[in-house]
Amino acid sequence: MSDALSDHGSDIQQDDSQEEDVMTPAELIAKLEEAWLNEKFSPELLENKSEVVECVMEQLTHMESNLQRVKKGDVKASVHRMEIDRIRYVLCSYLRARLQKIERFFPHVLEKEKSRAEGEPSLLSPEEYAFAKEYYANTETYLKTVALKRMPANLQTVDLLKAVPEPCVDSFVFLRVKERQENILVEPETDDQREYVVDLEEGSQHLMRYRTIAPLVSSGAVQLI
């Protein structure tokens, strides 16, 4: 067995300029899985995690290139190959979930990006932003050429922001609490009910409206399940 695969437990160094400490590859994969489930279950697009995506890509590429040097049919190689397949699945599924939301809500996603305050983190990675802009232009051009420009003069535009459905942040979601939270306000469902507050104990699971806990998803205090 070659030693090509033996240098792998080592930590990956985050960008030097960042104050964040070293994250082990295992922690990195856990981060990716969290982001994956959150993105899968949240009704709206979440903040991008491109640094996690890029680090995972690096890990995969590095491992793949090491595997090239290992002879076929080797048990060790097949274990690595299986792990790569699993990680790549989560990575692709995560990116797909985001892209689907970008396509589904493209006018709203772009609007949010436009009105973003300086210093506020961007929802979209630069590549996603480029994709969303192209998607918008492409779709707008299409509607124009095929129908709108053949319509009466006062009907040649469609406001895509109004025409394309918005994400429904009032949807219910299932969640698990990672860091204890106090006094989370639960809004009433009907007029004859009253609002109340709940404490979210660490490890407990809940069903409630996404709107109520959206900031806790971003901060990592709760995990959508």
Partner 1 sequence: MFGEKAVELIRELHRMSDGQLPAFNEDGLRQVLQEMEALYDQNQTDVNEAKAEGRAELIPSIKLRHCCLLRNQRCLAAYLYDRLLRIRALRWEYGSVLPPNVRFHMCAEELQWFAQYKKSLASFMRSFGGGEGLDITQDMKPPKSLYIEVRCLKDHGEFEIDDGTVVLLKKNSQHFLPRWKCEQLIRQGVLEHVVS
Partner 2 sequence: MDPSEVEFLAEKEVVKIIPNFSLDKVYLIGGDLGPFNPGLPVDVPVWLALNLKQRQKCRIVPPDWMDVEKLEEMRELERKENTFTPVPSPYYMELTKLLLNHASDNIPKADEIRTLVKDIWDTRIAKLRLSADSFITQQEAHAKLDNLTLMEINTIRTFLLDSLNCMYKLRSNLQPGSSKGQFTDY
> Does the footprint of partner 2 cover residue 162 (CB under 8 A)?
yes
Which of 176, 186, 182 has its CA nearest to residue 217? 176
Residues 35-54 that bind partner 1 (CB under 8 A): 53-54
> Does the footprint of partner 2 cover residue 67 (CB under 8 A)?
no
The only residue of 13, 22, 54, 86 in contact with partner 2, by rule CB under 8 A:
86
Secondary structure (DSSP) of 92-144:
HHHHHHHHHHHHHTHHHHHHHHHTPPTTSPPSS-HHHHHHHHHHHHHHHHHHH
Say how many C-beta atoms besides its own lie within 10 A of residue 28's C-beta. Answer: 20
Residues 205-224 that bind partner 2 (CB under 8 A): 205-209
Torsion of CA 91, 222, 120, 31, to 10 degrees: -30
> Does the footprint of partner 2 cover residue 7 (CB under 8 A)?
yes
Which of 127, 105, 107 has its CA nearest to residue 115? 107
Q: How far is the CB of 123 from partner 1 (least distance, A)?
A: 15
The answer to whether the beta carbons of residues 11 and 2 sit under 8 Å apart is no
- What phi, psi does 180 have (nearest 5°)? -55, 135
The partner in contact with residue 112, picked from partner 1, partner 2, none with C-beta cut-offs of 5 to 8 angstroms by kind, is none
Instruction: Give the nearer residue to partner 2 in terms of CB position, either 62 or 133.
Output: 62
> Does the footprint of partner 2 cover residue 164 (CB under 8 A)?
yes
Which of 23-31, 46-54, 128-136, 149-157 is the region at the interface with partner 2 (rule: CB under 8 A)?
Answer: 23-31
Token match 């998607």: residue? 135
Residues that bind partner 1 (CB under 8 A): 53-54, 57-58, 60-61, 64, 67-68, 72, 78, 81-82, 85-86, 88-89, 91-93, 95-96, 99, 103, 127-128, 130-131, 134-135, 138-139, 141-143, 145-147, 150-152, 154-155, 158, 163-164
